[in-house]
Structure 1
Amino acid sequence: MKAILIKQFGGAEQLQLGNVSLPCIHEHHVKVKLHAAGINPSDVYTATGTYAVKPNLPYTPGNDGAGVVVEVGADVKNVQVGDRVFVVGGKSKVFTGTMAAEMVCEATAVHPLPEHVSFEQGAGLGVPALTAYRALVDRAQVKAGQTVFIHGASGAVGLIAVQMAKHLGATVIGTASREEGKALVKEAGADIVLDHITEETVASVLDVTNGEGPDVIIEFLANVNLQADLMLVKKRGVIVVIGNRGDITINPRLMMQKECDVRGMVLWNMTQEEYEAVATGVTTMLQQQAFAPVVRQAFPFEEASAAFQEVIDGTGNGKVVVTMEGL
């Protein structure tokens, strides 16, 4: 079958069209005909060979995807042939990446995709949706009536987090750096949309929270923003760090004065039980139409390298996907 192959680590130019063979499915495996695959920043880092985990070369990239089940093993109970599903690689074993015509994976990696969600949107679930849900529900334990500040809300995870936080009954403040991003954050349901907050502009958020600050901060770039977050967060509030790209100097006295919590998060630190609970929470919200992934751009399969480059450049908002029409 057709697939994207990476034969040596590097940039987007290393993505090549090729052919691979699928393994036979075992009793707890599922085969999915893929209609779309999502690209995460981690996929790009993996392709460069600089990520914590290096796959054996050659390999097919992609952890997130959406399609239709075409074969199931004898012990599979959660899906059946013909079901629309989205795929989440990482915690459950995926034998081929999602940037392919078909894939084989453990049944625990596939989850029902409601009819109202397109395959392109389904490819934007996986890592972004599970990350947003775990940050808000598991790590921050967001409650109705709280104020949630999402520092960098225009990316794939941020836009889902805005929608989920609103569904949980929170007042949401989101930030973005460009007007296009701000418009998407507002469209996702944020009550207030601002520029990214620095130490010098903390007062702008305090003004809209009666001087108290938000109960919860979701942080995507801690090496730049954590000191401002500590100045901003409400007394006994929670900061959840999802993303970081380096070191930062902070004043721990702020944590003492506020008695706040700074909680790190890596999605795949979940136990299998935690993963299944988060996946169930995400699918329940999907069925309730509480959120929908925002797809920035869909590239045809043959232009996968251009899709990778789009993520590398990081100049847009929302999710980048690759579609498999005609494969």
Structure 2
Amino acid sequence: MKAIVYEETGPSAVLKLRDRPLVDPGQDEVRVRLLVSGVNPTDWKSRSGGGSRKLDAPKVPNQDGAGVIDAVGAGVAGFGVGDRVWLWDVAWGGNEGTAQEYVTVPAGKVVPLPDGESFDAGASLGIPALTAHRALTSSEGGPSRLSPGALAGRTVLVTGGAGAVGHAAIQLARWAGASVITTVSGDHKAELARRAGAGTVINYRTDDVVRAVRDAAPDGVDTIVEVNAPANIEAGLEVLKPGGTISVYAANPGESLTVPIREGMTKNVRLQFILTYTVTDEQKQDAVAAVSGALEAGALRVGEDYGLPLTRFPLEETAAAHDAVEQGIVGKVLIDVAP
């Protein structure tokens, strides 16, 4: 089978197309014939490694993907050959990612993909949607698992609503019944955020964000899904309700956050840092179940019409796909694994 591998960390040039043998599934495993692989910032950052370093074994990049089950190992219940599925956290803690034609994974990392949903949608879930779910459920007293009505009466502010996590957060929050405000950096991104379902869209480069949020939510917002805490912390504390939560899910290497302590204390604010890989097993399973439910309900759609443009690359151009994500391309980058 064809696979993209790297034997040392570094720039995207370390990614090479190779032939690899198929691996049969073992106990409680399935093998998936991948059709689409999703690329996230975490994929290029892991590959980069902060510099050149020889690896102990070749590694296949990319956490997310979607395809069809090709073989089923002993002890697996609920799945069969030919089932359409999406995958999550495939490369985490191991060497096998989704930038290859087949991957053998624990059955617990495989989720049914509804017949009415595309493989593109399945490959776009994973890291973005599971991160968004944790951000939306990290409030004290809030739901641990989203479902229709779980956020009814609440207001969510999503900063960077045109990004993959922001897009998923808007869609999940709307599905769960919340009112959604989002910030973006331009007119095109504003239109994408509206297509995703945001009720109020604010251009942070031209608008007074605090005033605009207060106009939309005079009592403040309950939760902020935060993509750039260093730039937004002061405004966030101003618009947050007492007892509200700021969920921080992104940072640049070595980046620090200076928090106005008195302002945070006065409102009894919760500052929640999030890395989807290291949440508890219960939190991860709640996220997978909720995302699966939202997908089944048609609430997690991708593509230009739904606010998340797709940019595609063939498997052999995985390096270019990584570069596109690193350079901040708008929307979702997908790799067509199958010819």
Q: Percent identity?
A: 35
| Kept after mapping to 1: 8 A contact 2:31/2:72 | yes
Write the letter of the residue equivalent to 1:17: L
Say if 2:273 is the partner of 1:264. yes
**Aligned match for 1:277, one of 275, 286, 301:** 286
SS in 2 for 1:263: strand
Q: Distance in 1 between matches of 2:84 and 2:154?
A: 35
- Structure 1 residues 1-327: aligned runs within 5 Å: 1-50=1-50, 56-89=56-89, 96-139=96-139, 141=142, 143-196=151-204, 201-210=209-218, 212-245=219-252, 246-293=255-302, 294-314=308-328, 316-326=329-339
| Kept after mapping to 2: 8 A contact 1:69/1:84 | yes
SS in 1 for 2:33: strand
| Kept after mapping to 2: 8 A contact 1:199/1:228 | no
Give CA deviations for 1:10-38 in whole Å, capped at 9, x if unaligned. Answer: 22222211112243321211100000000
Shift of 1:218: 0.7
Write the letter of the residue equivalent to 2:201: V
Q: Distance in 1 between matches of 2:55 and 2:267?
A: 43
Shift of 1:138: 4.5
SS in 1 for 2:300: coil
1:55/1:182 CA distance change after superposition, 3 Å: farther
Write the letter of the residue equivalent to 1:136: L
Q: Distance in 2 between matches of 1:198 and 1:126?
A: 33
Write the letter of the residue equivalent to 2:31: K
Write the letter of the residue equivalent to 1:308: H
Write the letter of the residue equivalent to 1:203: R
Note the residue ranges of structure 1 that are not aligned, 5 or more in a row.
Answer: none
Q: Distance in 2 between matches of 1:91 and 1:37?
A: 12
SS in 2 for 1:236: strand
Q: Distance in 2 between matches of 1:241 and 1:22?
A: 39
Write the letter of the residue equivalent to 1:155: G
1:122/1:226 CA distance change after superposition, 3 Å: same
Q: Distance in 1 between matches of 2:54 and 2:333?
A: 22
| Kept after mapping to 2: 8 A contact 1:91/1:272 | no
Write the letter of the residue equivalent to 1:301: L
1:54/1:234 CA distance change after superposition, 3 Å: farther
TM-score (norm 1): 0.92
Matched residue count? 323
Q: Distance in 2 between matches of 1:165 and 1:54?
A: 42
Give CA deviations for 1:41-100 in whole Å, capped at 9, x if unaligned. Answer: 01010111139x996442110110000001011101132111000011259766521000
Write the letter of the residue equivalent to 1:250: V
Shift of 1:224: 2.0
1:54/1:160 CA distance change after superposition, 3 Å: farther
Q: Distance in 1 between matches of 2:231 and 2:56?
A: 33
| Kept after mapping to 1: 8 A contact 2:234/2:260 | yes
Give CA deviations for 1:90-127 in whole Å, capped at 9, x if unaligned. Answer: 59766521000000111111000112221122111111
Q: Distance in 2 between matches of 1:135 and 1:282?
A: 13
SS in 1 for 2:43: helix
TM-score (norm 2): 0.89
**Greater displacement, 136-145 / 289-298:** 136-145
Shift of 1:199: 11
| Kept after mapping to 2: 8 A contact 1:34/1:68 | yes
| Kept after mapping to 1: 8 A contact 2:138/2:245 | no
| Kept after mapping to 2: 8 A contact 1:46/1:54 | no
| Kept after mapping to 2: 8 A contact 1:91/1:275 | no
**Greater displacement, 2-11 / 270-279:** 270-279
Shift of 1:325: 2.9
Q: Distance in 2 between matches of 1:288 and 1:191?
A: 20
1:198/1:57 CA distance change after superposition, 3 Å: farther
**Greater displacement, 135-144 / 230-239:** 135-144
SS in 1 for 2:221: coil
Shift of 1:308: 0.9
Give CA deviations for 1:247-281 in whole Å, capped at 9, x if unaligned. Answer: 23231111122122111212122233332222111
SS in 2 for 1:23: coil
